[in-house]
Amino acid sequence: MTAAIVLAAVQTSRATIPDVITFAVAAAVILVGALGVVTSANPVHSALSLVLTLFGVAVLFIEQDAQFLAVVQVIVYAGAIVVLFLFVIMYLGVDRRENIEAEPLRGQRPLAFVLVAIALVGILAMLAAAHWVTGAHAVAGSTTAGGKSNVYLLGKAVFTTYLFAFEATAALLVVAIVGAVMLARRPTNELEDEELESAAGDDESGSGADAGGLPRHGDSDGVDDVPSDAAANAPAHGEARS
């Protein structure tokens, strides 16, 4: 079946055999990675499968003469975003298997499959019926204008045609940084409460096992640390929890 698809791909386009093989391998890697993200019981495995998919997409970017985006894809996605995912998974200590068979909302999964199948059929029908891709080529900003490199052309487009959007992304990144800092830091009164509480706990028990704070949710199931957190937060947010 795969051979038939490859043969059909060769016949319906002006591609060479290596192009088709590259595409087939990259497509298989992408789909395997995507299914791995969805079906892995362990979030760490999901994140590693995501890396697989991102590399496959980067290969297809190179295959389509978008070299700069392929490099950025690997650096930003695989190098930064997935690492951020893994960092949060490890920080929260949720790197263990979860029961993905459980279905809390009855009938939700069949409904999700049906809806996505309808959407997929709609996209493919639109693809089969439309003829826009055979229309006239763009006059300005071609991908191969004058034999210039991809980086040159993309940089020229970003810094001329899309200059305002580029500046807007700078503002967006600043807002994201400020938002992340605001979300991540605790209010100072909660911090003081917690410090007082942990100091008192150390005096009473003398064990000091939690003083380091690092192995909090790591190897245990993390439940026994939570009541102290909840108690520390309760005066400020008591009504929100009830």
Partner 1 sequence: MSINGDWYLILAAALFAIGAVGLLVRRNVLVMFMCIELMLNAANLTFVTFSRMLGDIGGQAVVFFVLVVAAAEVVIGLGIVVTIFRRRVSTTADDLHVLKG
180 belongs to the binding site for partner 1 (CB under 8 A): yes
User: What's the min distance (Å) between Cβ of 145 and partner 1?
Assistant: 8
Are residues 41 and 95 in contact, defined by beta-carbon separation less than 8 angstroms?
Answer: no
Of the candidate residues 1, 137, 147, 206, the single one contacting partner 1 (CB under 8 A): 137
Tell me which of 1, 2, 3, 12 binds partner 1, using CB under 8 A.
Answer: 12
Regarding 238 and contact with partner 1 (CB under 8 A), the answer is no
- Binding string, residues 19-58; x marks residues near partner 1 by CB under 8 A: xx--x---x--xx--xx-xx-x--x--xx--x--xx--x-
Q: Does 113 bind partner 1 (CB under 8 A)?
A: yes
By CB under 8 A, is residue 223 in contact with partner 1?
Answer: yes
Q: Between residue 53 and residue 82, which ones bind partner 1 under the rule CB under 8 A?
A: 53-54, 57, 60-61, 63-66, 68-69, 72-73, 76-77, 80-81
Q: Which is nearer to partner 1, 82 or 202 (CB)?
A: 82
Helix, strand or coil, per DSSP, at residue 80:
helix
**How far is 55 from 71, CA to CA, in rounded Å?**
10
Rounded-to-integer distance, Cα 235 and Cα 224, Å: 20
Residue whose entry in the numeric block shows the structure tokens 């100072």: 188
Which one, 108 or 205, has the nearer CB to partner 1?
108
Which stretches within the chain are classed as H helix?
2-11, 17-39, 43-63, 67-72, 82-92, 108-129, 150-159, 163-184, 188-205, 226-241
Q: Segment 187-216, which members bind partner 1 (CB under 8 A)?
A: none
The correct pick among 7, 97, 144, 231 for binding partner 1 (CB under 8 A) is: 144
Kindly state the smallest distance separating residue 200's Cβ from partner 1, in Å: 20
Tokens representing residue 23 in the block? 């595409």
Phi then psi dihedrals of residue 222, to 5 deg = 85, 0
Supply the minimum distance, in Å, between the C-beta of residue 195 and partner 1: 15
Query: Which of 93, 45, 53 is CA-nearest to residue 217?
Result: 93
